[in-house]
Amino acid sequence: MQTENKITVWFFTLLRIVVGWHFLYEGISKLFNPYWSSASYLMESKWILSGFFHWITGNQTALHVVDFLNIWGLIIIGLLLFLGVFTQAASISGVVLLLLYYIANPPFVYSSVPATSHFYIINYNLIEAVVLIVIASLPKDLMWSIQRFLSYHHSKRKEKKFPAAENPPFPENYDVKRREMIKNLAVVPFFGAVFFGMARKRGWISFEEDNLAAETEAISGASILLGKNYSIRELTGKVPSGKIRDINLSRIMIGGNLISGFAHARDLIYVSTWLKKYFTDEKVIETLWLCEACGINTAIFRCDENTIRIMEKYWARGGKVQWLAQTYPRGDDMTNIKLAIDHGAVGAFVQGGIADQIVLENRIDDLAKAIEFIRDQGIIGGTAAHSITVPEACVSNGIPVDFFMKTYHHNNYWSATPVDPADPYLPKDGKDHNMAHDNIWCVSDKATADFFSNNTTPWIAYKILAAGAIKPDDGLRFAFEGGADFACVGMFDFQIIEDANLTAAILGSELKRERKWYA
């Protein structure tokens, strides 16, 4: 019976140490990772309290508090469990923390967060919570621990100081006392050894790592540095907003070409296919959560079944990013516009290539009918364009619009193909605009800026980075200084925080802008 009791004690002691080590490792690894944040985990929440978790990701103060509590909660709980101090309190605290993890992303709700060892309802968070409940309910003498060691010696000192009258003093068994101490303190050198091993594994104790870190980074300014984790904690300021009619819109909006698989990658024909593989439904939703956390509240997506499916999934999970729809009317056929309106778009516009063609073929009534139909449904309506003649035609024909979308970028980048600025339609044989020049979308930035300098209609500039040929800080500043009220930017998920920071910094600086803000 005595042997069985010892085995039980060692078993529960080992169980407590293993769980404690897991907590401690998770906490320390997060503490030493400058890019870690709970934001991505919270943004994926789709179950009860998801609205609260999403609110945290959009509130910098709340997110910093949650990250701090998460990291130090894991470290303190792990340390207490590992060493065996205040075991019951640490176990109960661990159960609460694990249940919060479980509620945020339960295994029976699909998430793009990697799910580890789960079977529909059960995952490792729930299993570990049950283990901690068992540990919390155990008597103190069923585990070796530092707390037990201290309690043992405290009781011995008490017995010596206040001996019981009926119990005559007896000689202290030194060997028993020594074994008791070794068992209770055995975890201390083990803790030091495993911590040293973890530190070496993660590069915290490594002369090689220090030497590599001291080297100059050999990467050209024109290259994109990939592989770096993005963290919402790097956000320095949320994107400001403006209004078109009664709709509040962020000053930069995420564009849909990347997500839709239209990369404008010139002769690299594999890129569009790669983008469609990269931007799964869950990746798009994750990207939208990140936009929301950065203050980017509007997505400019084409109106098709792919977009509708993804946006409905996203909104069903509590997402707040709104949809400004790119639509494709055909003469009197407004089916595509109606599809966008029926599925929650806050605004719609005629796609730029279609509007260019309508004006080129002098079918102004078709453009007027489409914009009028959009506005009559109670949402904001306008038109996009590559050619400046489209907004000019709207003004000259008295077509009321809530906004114009017009391409706007300079042509000072090495891959820009020379074009004749006097010929806004290239070519004039009815071909698509992009067939003429797939790497220039604003033939004359001066003509565009001049038109809007005398026009009070809100202007959303798009193609401002010339499909990635212009650096974001350059393209954003050029757009806003040129008079744009908003900018549509195609962004990967790993670019959103940087672009949000750039926008907040640019708009917070002294802009060389002559046009008033009309939104």
What is the DSSP secondary-structure string of 118-152? -BTTB-HHHHHHHHHHHHHHS-GGGS--HHHHHHH
What is the rounded distance in angstroms from the CA atom of residue 437 to the CA atom of residue 454? 28
Query: Per-residue pLDDT averaged across 503-518, rounded?
Result: 94
489 within 8 A of 499, measured Cβ to Cβ:
yes
- Give the DSSP H/E element, type plus range, for residue 194: helix 187-201
Q: Map residue 323 onto helix, strand or coil.
A: strand
Query: Quick count: other Cβ atoms within 10 Å of Cβ 227?
Result: 5
Reduced to 3 states, what is the DSSP secondary structure of residue 384?
strand
Contact assessment for residue 481 and residue 513, using Cβ atoms and an 8 Å cutoff: yes
Residue 300 host element (H or E): strand 298-302
What is the residue-wise DSSP string for 452-483?
Answer: HHT--S-EEEESTTTTTTS-HHHHHHHHHHTT
Which residues fall within 8 angstroms of residue 31, CB to CB, at 6 or more apart?
A: 71, 75
- Phi and psi at residue 273, to the nearest 5°: -65, -40
441-451 burial string, b = 16+ CB within 10 Å, else e?
bbbbbebbbeb
pLDDT tens column, 375-430: 999 999 999 999 899 999 999 999 999 999 999 999 888 877 766 555 554 444 44
Rounded Cα gap, residues 135 and 81, in angstroms: 10
Secondary structure tally for the chain: helices H, strands E: 22, 10
Q: Please determine, for residue 324, whether its predicted confidence score (pLDDT) is greater than 80.
A: yes
Nearest Cα to Cα of residue 139 among 22, 24, 8, 23: 8
Cα–Cα distance, 219 to 225 (Å, whole number):
8
Residue 19 structure tokens: 């769980």
Over the Cα atoms of the chain, what is R_g? 31
Amino acid letter, residue 53: F
What are the pLDDT digits (tens) for 89-130?
Answer: 999 999 999 999 889 888 877 655 455 555 668 888 889 999
DSSP state of 440: -
Does 57 have pLDDT greater than 90?
A: no
Q: Which helix (H) or strand (E) holds 354?
A: helix 352-360
**Six token digits for residue 286:** 């994750």
Per-residue pLDDT band for 174 (boundaries 50, 70, 90) equals very low
Cβ-contact 36, 26 below 8 angstroms: no
Closest CA to 138 of 74, 92, 186, 184: 92
Task: Give the integer Cα–Cα distance in Å for 377 and 315.
Answer: 21
- Residue 505 or 415, more confident: 505
Give yes or no for residue 9 having a pLDDT over 90. no
Distance CA 411, CA 187 (A): 67
Stretch (H or E) spanning 368: helix 364-376
pLDDT score at 223: 30
Tokens of 54: 């999403």
Domain ranges of the chain: 2-144+186-201, 236-507
DSSP at 225: -
The number of CA neighbours under 13 Å toward the Cβ of 414 is 2
- Give the pLDDT of residue 152: 57
d(CA 459, CA 191): 62
Tell me the pLDDT of the chain averaged across its residues: 80
Amino acid at position 270, single letter = Y
Taking the complete model, does pTM exceed 0.85, yes or no?
A: no
- How confident is the model over 37-54, as pLDDT tens digits? 888 788 778 788 888 888
Query: 327: which strand partners?
Result: 350
| 3-state SS class at 383 | strand
pLDDT score for 196 = 53
Q: Which of 46-55, 162-171, 366-375 has the highest mean pLDDT?
A: 366-375
**Which tokens hold the place of 126?**
């729930």
Query: Which among 359, 409, 403, 362 is positioned nearest to 384, based on CA atoms?
Result: 403
Alpha carbons 19 and 190: distance in angstroms, whole number? 15
Distance CA 346, CA 341 (A): 7
Among candidates 78, 73, 126, 79, which has minimal Cα distance to 98?
126
The pLDDT > 90 percentage for the chain reads 44
- Sign of torsion over alpha carbons 79, 85, 91, 92: negative
Peptide bond into 472 cis (omega under 30): no
- Output the pLDDT for position 168: 46
User: Under a CB-based contact definition with an 8 Å cutoff, are residues 139 and 153 in contact?
Assistant: no
Q: Bigger pLDDT: 279 or 250?
A: 250
DSSP state of 509: S
Instruction: State mean pLDDT over 182-195.
Output: 54
CA dihedral 301, 307, 310, 316 (to 10 degrees): 80
How far is Cα 245 from Cα 402, in angstroms, rounded to an integer? Answer: 7
pLDDT score of 443:
80
**Single-letter amino acid code for the residue at 143:** M
Q: How confident is the model at residue 182 (pLDDT cuts 50, 70, 90)?
A: low
pLDDT band of residue 172 (cuts 50, 70, 90) is: very low
The SS3 assignment for 114 reads coil
Task: Provide the pLDDT confidence category of residue 276 given band limits of 50, 70 and 90.
Answer: confident
Q: Which CATH number fits domain 236-507: 3.40.50.11540, 3.40.250.10, 3.20.20.100, 1.10.20.60?
A: 3.20.20.100
Distance CA 39, CA 53 (A): 9
- Give the residue with greater pLDDT, 255 vs 257: 255
C-beta of residue 399 within 8 angstroms of C-beta of residue 367:
yes
